[in-house]
Copies of this chain bind each other. A is one copy, B any other.
Amino acid sequence: MANVRLHRLGDLQLRIMQVLWDRGEASVADVHDALGARPKLAYTTVATMLRKMEARGLAAHRTEGRTFIYRAAVAEERVGRNMAEHVLDRLFQGSLATMVSHLLTAREVSGDELAELERLIAERKRTP
């Protein structure tokens, strides 16, 4: 179960996982209208995707009546870390500073955000 490739989730899969992470549990219908995209996806598309994701170990479900109630089977933390590390290693040779530098020069970052970053780094320096 731990051996799921976590750094190659597609866009739709990620959006679905986000719904599951946010809600804890969700039926196909819940997920379907939670992702209120412009050209609305077909209901069956979401259902199929969820089935595939369960087969891949990303989600799981229980049954309520004859409705499937899905939940995430991998923690958001794990996926986030995996994908972030993948990008970090593959594109920035593992240098967090380089990555942050690129991100800082291409986005508006609020003062709060910067302060929080400072705090994190200071904290990390204290505990090696």
Residue ranges of A at the interface with B (Cβ–Cβ < 8 Å): 11, 14-15, 18, 76-77, 79-81, 83-85, 87-88, 90-92, 95-97, 99-104, 106-107, 109, 111, 113-114, 116-118, 120-122, 124-125
In the assembled complex, the Cα of A76 lies from the Cα of B97 at a distance in Å of 16
Chain A interface secondary structure, helix, strand, loop or mixed?
helix
| Copies of this chain, count | 2
Contacts of A18 in B (CB 8 A): 90
Contacts of A87 in B (CB 8 A): 80, 83-84, 87
In the assembled complex, the Cα of A90 lies from the Cα of B81 at a distance in Å of 12
**10 nearest CB pairs, A to B:** A97-B116, A80-B91, A14-B90, A83-B87, A97-B117, A81-B106, A81-B102, A117-B121, A104-B124, A97-B113
